[in-house]
A and B are shown apart, each in its own frame.
Chain A
Amino acid sequence: MSGHKLSLVVNGERVEADVPSNRLLSEFLRDDLALTGTKRGCETGVCGACSVLVDGDVVKSCLSLAVQMNGREITTVEGLGRVGALHPLQQQFMEKGGLQCGYCTPGFLMAAVDLLKRNPNPDDAEIREGLSGNLCRCTGYQGIVDAIRSTAEAGHGA
């Protein structure tokens, strides 16, 4: 049906797009912008693999419409860090075994960014609560919790 003109910032770059009203944000990012780091795992807002930041807040992109994003600023995992300039969380996820198959990893990273933004020094229970919108089947969450704790301890929480 109707196309909508969108103007937004994705990973620091201005994006102009024309999207149909029923396009999910996750589809827009993956299929239109080829940002496939954002994953689809359940399509019911449970697994959190599609988590991205909208104006700095973590949200599930499968529970958002692209048309809602006009004028907003989006960060996906691709905007978090690059080789040579990885985000401290990315580095710690690697070093602490915060990932195995890697499919849930982008979503966990985005949730962790939001968590540490609000609570730079979380205890383990707070970390686990902050991850309650994400599912991982490989790590048993231990490596993920360890990675977030060590990132916070290194003073990268804020």
Chain B
Amino acid sequence: MKLIRYQAPELSQWSPFNRLASLREEMNRIMDGSLAAFTGGNVGLFGGWSPSMDVVQDKDAVYVKAELPGMKKEDIDINFQDGILTLSGERKQESEVKEGESFRSERFFGKFHRTVSLPTKVDADKISATYKDGILTVTLPKAAEVKAKQIDVTVS
């Protein structure tokens, strides 16, 4: 029987892959919206990691859910600008000294950064977020003008 031990790829600081990772981020920014196709899962390409995200909308709001298990609330940053929501932060490995031996290492630690462009205009002042059981839920209420338009449509 054997145990396969492997390291999270981001352990090496000098790596040229870091530059590749920032290139990827740049591409994500350019290709906003369809970035899901690029990252797909929750494992980032070489640099950091990439949490899974879901986006749902109903008539009142857009909801963005991100799976961020094992973080501290204060280590999550939420930014909204020009119709683009950015989630970023850092998952820190617990500070316990590694006196023991690790022989399965599948969790990712370190920084993450994800952006999503919203399908509709939202009211930036009323954005709220909760973090529970490792899931971040951001609620972005739709802008009044969008809602008014929706009502018009239903009437006609």
Do A and B share a complex?
no
